Amino acid sequence: MILDIYSFSTLTTYIDKSLHAIMAPWLAVAAELVLIGLLFLAFYALLGLFLVYLERKVCAVMQNRIGPNRVGKWGIFQTVADFIKLVTKELIPIKNADNFLFNLAPFIVIIASFMAMAALPFAKGLQAIDFNIGIFYIIAVSSLGIVGVLIAGWSSNSKYSLIGAMRSGAQIVSYELSVGLSLLAVVVFSGSMQLSTIVESQANGWWIFKGHIPALIAFVIYLIASTAEINRGPFDLAEAESELTAGFHTEYSGIKFAFFFLAEYINMFIVAAIAATLFFGGWMPLHIGHWEAFNRVMDFIPSIIWFFGKTFFIIYLIMWFKWTFPRLRIDQLLKLEWKYLLPLSLLNIVLISFVVLMGWYF
């Protein structure tokens, strides 16, 4: 199937060529790296602000409220105002805290979420690095954040923080397994770990449709496990505010707190983006088998809209969970993972391997 979707690679190649024309090759590469870094930083900040705004609006809809509506039209600048407040707030020093680790923790958390962004394919040809082990890289990098959480809990010299961090550690170590195994499902289907190849493999249908029931099971497991992995309700035990006031970031204030806060939302975006890429085709438009006319119409919608549309749909699902379910208890949380999700995903892998061997998918 020939796709005539606009590819961002024409734009990026043009920039690359013009930079090489005026600079030495090593300088051109350095300039490109700086450019990408700045782009990501800007995107990161804007995305964080927008996600916080979105969450407040979604939760308002769930709760019969209007949500922010004073700063700017429909309150769109509310989160900007909040961010300015957080930046200008005093950083309260904590007595007997391990200051070096205490200051280091927010950076570890935010860097981990920043690194995972690099491998995401945002649109056709718009991807910072196309690793051949893309999924492996994302899983590895996104679990680095827990180190920051543990350090934050340990160094704050607060019992609430410590309990929150221990819970978070147990939770993420457990749910990492299910996340990995459910992502493995798509790897088995597409036969590649490279994210661009996985997206290309869905040109004649998304894996959630092509993969029958096993793909659906893998998607549901991924959705549950990844919600748990990013510490969001109903699995937000690490910061259960009715029990531990704010969990691991109880003692943080100002911009350091904002880092944790931002990282939480960016992590939500990352897991949603991975789900969209692996199960819903990423930037790939909705294609159905040999319906050429239908497929052509779908191709007119730009690939970047497809990607963000799918991602925000999954983000909406994750927010919906948070605002309607009560929180689980720590023992129930671990029981859910080790007794139900993990055996189920192991069985699912066997099932998928069988389906793939027999060629029972489209």
Partner 1 sequence: MNSPIDMSEEIIKNIIVKEDDDYIVNMGPQHPSTHGVLRLEVCLNGETVKYMVPHIGYIHRAIEKMSESDTYKQIIHLTDRMDYLSAHMNNEAICLAVENALEIEVPERVKYIRVALDELSRVASHHLWWSAFGMDLGALTTFFYGMRDREKILAIFEESFGSRLLHSFVTPGGLMHDVHPNFQKHIMEFVRYFRKKLPEYKQLLTDNVIFHNRTKGIGYMSRETAIAFGVTGPSGRGSGFSCDVRKTAPYGLYNEINFKEILHDEGDSFTRYLVRMEEMEESLNILEQVADNIPEGDFTAKMKPIVKLPEGEYYQRVETARGELGVYIVSDGKKFPYRVKFRSPNFSNLFVLNTLAMEHLIADLVTISGSLDLVIPDIDR
State the residues that interact with partner 1 by CB under 8 A.
59, 62-65, 159-160, 163, 167, 233-234, 236-237, 240-243, 245, 323-332
DSSP-based three-state secondary structure for 4:
coil
DSSP state of 9: H
Residue 290 CA to residue 294 CA, distance in Å, equals 9
Q: Which is nearer to partner 1, 45 or 92 (CB)?
A: 92
Residue 284 CA to residue 201 CA, distance in Å, equals 10
Residues pairing with 316 in the sheet = none
Q: Which residues contact 39 (CB under 8 A, 6 or more apart)?
A: none
DSSP calls for 262-297? HHHHHHHHHHHHHHHHHHS-TT-----TT-HHHHHH
DSSP-based three-state secondary structure for 90:
coil
Q: Nearest distance from residue 144's CB to partner 1, in Å?
A: 26
DSSP-based three-state secondary structure for 181:
helix
Residue 270 phi/psi, 5° resolution?
-65, -45
Residue 284 CA to residue 323 CA, distance in Å, equals 30
